[in-house]
Amino acid sequence: MARTVLDPTKLKDWQIAAACEKDMKPLAQLGADLGLDADDLIPMGRQVAKVDALRVLARLRHAPLGKYVDVTAITPTPLGEGKTTTTLGLVQGLGYLGKRVVGAIRQPSGGPTFNVKGSAAGGGLAQCIPLTPLSIRLTGDIDSITNAHNLAMVALMARIQHEANYDDAELAKRNLRRLDIDPARIDFKWAIDFCAQSLRNITIGNGSKMDGVPMPSGFQISVSSEVMAILAVSKDLADLRQRMGKIVVAHSRAGRPVTTADLEVDGAMTAWMVDAINPNLLQSIEGQPIFVHAGPFANIAIGQSSIIADELGLRLGEYHVTESGFGADIGFEKFWNLKCRYSGLKPSAVVIVATVRALKMHGGGPAVKPGLPLDEAYTRENIGLVEKGCENLLAHINTVRLSGVRPVVCINSFYTDTKAETAVIRRIAEANGALAAVSDHWLKGGEGARELSEAVIAACNEPNAFKFLYDLSLPLRQRIELIAREVYGAKGVSYTDVALEKAKRLEADPETSSLGTCMVKSHLSLSHDPSLKGRPTGWTLPIRDIMVYRGAGLVVPVAGEIKLLPGTASDPAFRRMDVDTATGAVRGLF
C-alpha cells in the first residue's frame, strides 16, 4: 500500500492521510469484508457510513464474541502519548498478522481539534481516515448532542420565564403546571464544542421580563454533556429514550429534582439522537474497519467509545480494540468500573501506552508545554530520567492488575528513542507482572506493531480474573476513598461543605445511592494537581463538588479546580488550517 513510500519523519499527518485516502476501500467493500449487508450501511457521503447497529445486533445476537482489548496509557504530557495512534497501530498490526480485527475510537471534539492537541485520528502510518470528515463534524453526532443538550436548556429557561410572568390560572390555560423551579439551583449549563474560557461563567436574561429571568449561567464543552454519556452507555434506542427523560436540569424551591421529562422535552431531545445512536464506520490507512462513536475527555466525562460500537466489533471480529481516555487512573478506571459493568462485557487484554518522552517528564525532566518546542532532554538519551519516571508506569500497571487482568505495556516508539531507554522500560514492566513490547506503528504501520500484536494475542489467550473495584452497594464516600487510595495513590479524601452535604444526601437517597461513580480529575497527574508528576505520595484528594447524571446512571465527584470548558491556548491549531479553494481539501489538520 501507499505506506511503503511514505516517510512520517518528513510528512505531516494530514499529508499522509491525503495520500492514503486515494487507496481507501469503497464503503461497500469495507462493509462486506466486515460481514455486513448493503442494507446494514447508511452512506453519509462517499467515504463514511453509519452502521444500522440495532438491525445488525439483532441479527448477530447469538454470534460468539471476539477478544476484547482496551487501550489506555500512563499519565500523559500535555501533548498526549499516542493512545489513539497505538489503537490504530494495534488494529493494523493484528490485521498484518491475518486476524479479523475491528477498532473503536472516540469522535474528536472540536475543542482540541482546533486548539493545541489536534484531532484524535492517530498519527504517522497509524491513522483513521478520511481525516477531514473525522475531524470536522463527521456525521453530526456531536452537533446532535449539542442541540439535544441545548434544547433542554431552552425548555428550562422558557419554563422559568413563564412561571415568573404568569399565575397558576394563566399557566393552566397554557397547559403548563408550575414546577416552582429555583433559579438559584440550576444544574445544567449550555453546551458548545469549542474551548472557550470566556463562556464558563456568564449572566443571562438581561433586559425586560420578555427576555428571560436574570441569572448566572455558563457553558460546558459538548462532549462533557450528560447526553454524550448517555450515548456512550446506552444499549439501544429504547434504553437511550428512557435515560433521556431522567436528566436532572434543576431543582424546585422545595428541593425536588426537575427533569427533562418534567419539562416534556425528553422526547424531542431523543429525536435529535435517532441517527446519532448508530456508530460511524471509517477505516485505518491499511483498510481495517474502525467504528467512531461517542466522545473523548475521560478527565471531565466518561471518555469511552460506545457500548454499542464495542458490541458490534465483538460480534463481527475475532479481535476488537477499543480505547479509553487518558491514563489508566481515569480512562481505564471508568472502562473497568462503569462501562464493563453496564455492558456486561469483560476485557481479554489491556494495553498501557508509555513513551520515553512522558517517562522522562515524570522522572523530573523539564516542563512540557503545548505550542513550545520540546527541551533537548527529550531527544537525548537519559536512562536515569526514564528509570525514575517508570514510577508512574508502575502505578498504572498496578491499577490494571487490580482489575484481575495482566497488562501489556506498549512502548510507543519515537524515532529519537534509544534502545537503552526502551530496554529500561521493558525490564521494569516485566519485573512488575506486565508483558511489554516496543511498537513502531507510527513509523512503519501494522508491520511495526507486530511485536505489540503478538503480545496482545498472548495476553488474550491467558485466563484472567476480571473483577470490579467496588460493589454498587458500597456507600459513595467509601467508593471515592477506594478510588483515591487504590488507583490514584492518595492518603485520603477531603470535602468542601457543599460536596459533603451532597454526598450525604445522595447516600441517603435510594434512587442515587447505587449510581456509578464517574470521577472528574486532572489527566496530567495521578493526583488532582497537574503540577505533581511521577507517582505523588502523601497528598489528599479534594472533592469540591458532586454532580448527578441520573440519565447516564452516574454520580460525578469533581476533584480540584478542573473546568468543564477548557480554554484556547495562545497558539491554537486553527492558525495553521486552511482550505485549497480549487479542490476544497482541508490542509493543516493534525
**For this structure, is 414 an active site residue?**
yes
Q: What is the rounded CA–CA span in Å between residue 567 and residue 22?
A: 36
Per-residue CA distances from 65 to 41, 60, 290, 319 (Å):
21, 10, 17, 9
Q: What is the rounded CA–CA span in Å between residue 271 and residue 262?
A: 17
DSSP codes, 222-242: GGGSHHHHHHHH-SSHHHHHH
Burial of 338 (0-12, 13-18, 19+ CB in 10 A): buried
Contact 559, 518 (CB under 8 A): no
Which member of 272, 297, 326, 332 is catalytic? 326
C-alpha cell of 121?
485520528
Exposure class string for 12-24: b at 16+ Cβ within 10 A, else e: ebbebbbbbbeeb
**For this structure, is 399 an active site residue?**
no
**For this structure, is 117 an active site residue?**
yes
**For this structure, is 298 an active site residue?**
yes
Which member of 298, 436, 484, 559 is catalytic? 298
Grid cell 462493509 in the structure block, residue:
31
Which member of 83, 99, 159, 357 is catalytic? 83
**For this structure, is 442 an active site residue?**
yes
**For this structure, is 539 an active site residue?**
no
Which member of 117, 189, 339, 444 is catalytic? 117
Q: What is the rounded CA–CA span in Å between residue 93 and residue 355?
A: 19
C-alpha cell of 393?
508506569
Q: What are phi and psi of 113, to 5 degrees?
A: -60, -40
> Which residues share a beta bridge with 7?
none
Q: What is the rounded CA–CA span in Å between residue 411 and residue 406?
A: 16
Which member of 72, 77, 84, 85 is catalytic? 85
Give the start-end residues of each E strand in 62-121. 67-73, 101-105
Q: Which residues are catalytic?
A: 83, 85, 106, 117, 298, 326, 414, 442
